[in-house]
Amino acid sequence: MDRMLVVVFDSESKAYEGRKALLQLDGEGSISVYAYAVLAKHADGTSSIKQGGDAPPVGSLVGTSIGSLIGLLGGPAGLAMGAAAGFAAGATADLDNARIGDDFVEDVTNALSPNTVALVAEIEEDWTTPVDSRMEAIGGSVFRRALSEVRETVDREEIAAMKADLAQMKAEHAQARADRQGKLREKINRLESKVQDRLQRAKDRRQAAERQAQAKAQILKAKADAARAHP
């Protein structure tokens, strides 16, 4: 099952130890790690991504579920990214694209207090014990949530409802008196704009999901190729 994983530690060194353990589990075949980042919450309320030698490029997280979650966890003070400012611009607080519930974000945000550090990862795991055992031994608090696949259905239903309202308004406009037509036309124009915006957002999400699926397939293929090359 694809899941979003967040492990909160009380120090940066423990977070790096947690990252090492996570990658070891990946190497052992217990889980698959698709993307990860180490996010530090500073005393002034800002957050920053800590780059390590084996970390994926920061820019590769933009537009992904993990990138959106990091944007949400950055909080009102935002992400103080330094050289990674390009990622900060792309780390939008998009709960839909993060594909997890707002209650999960709230739980993690409450745990991610100033001077704590979180290991954030998108993983696939069949059972939770391997990760929990390793992380708890290091002193980490583990949060996980299965990634939702229902947003596209919700988009279709909401767009269909908006289009139904639009059709009704147009029918009323055709029969309305001249003084009423102007007000209806304003409402129609606003609703048409909203429909187009919702259609574009749904398209963007579909394309992002397709890119993520392709990236995951490439990661799994690379692992399979490496396993065959070094049995």
**What distance in Å separates the CA atoms of residue 164 and residue 160, rounded to the nearest whole number?**
6
Q: What is the pLDDT of residues 176-221, one digit of tens each?
A: 888 888 888 888 998 899 888 888 877 877 777 777 777 777 777 8
Determine the pLDDT at residue 80.
46
DSSP letters, 142-205, are EEEEEPP--HHHHHHHHHHHHHHHHHHHHHHHHHS-HHHHHHHHHHHHHHHHHHHHHHHHHHHH
Q: Please say whether the beta carbons of 204 and 92 come within 8 A.
A: no
* Per-domain boundaries in the chain: 2-148, 149-231
Q: Is the pTM of this model over 0.85?
A: no
**What distance in Å separates the CA atoms of residue 9 and residue 50, rounded to the nearest whole number?**
14
**What distance in Å separates the CA atoms of residue 110 and residue 134, rounded to the nearest whole number?**
22
Q: Which two tokens stand for residue 229?
A: 């090359």
Q: What is the pLDDT of residues 40-78, one digit of tens each?
A: 999 988 888 886 445 454 445 545 778 788 888 875 544
Q: Please say whether the beta carbons of 214 and 63 come within 8 A.
A: no
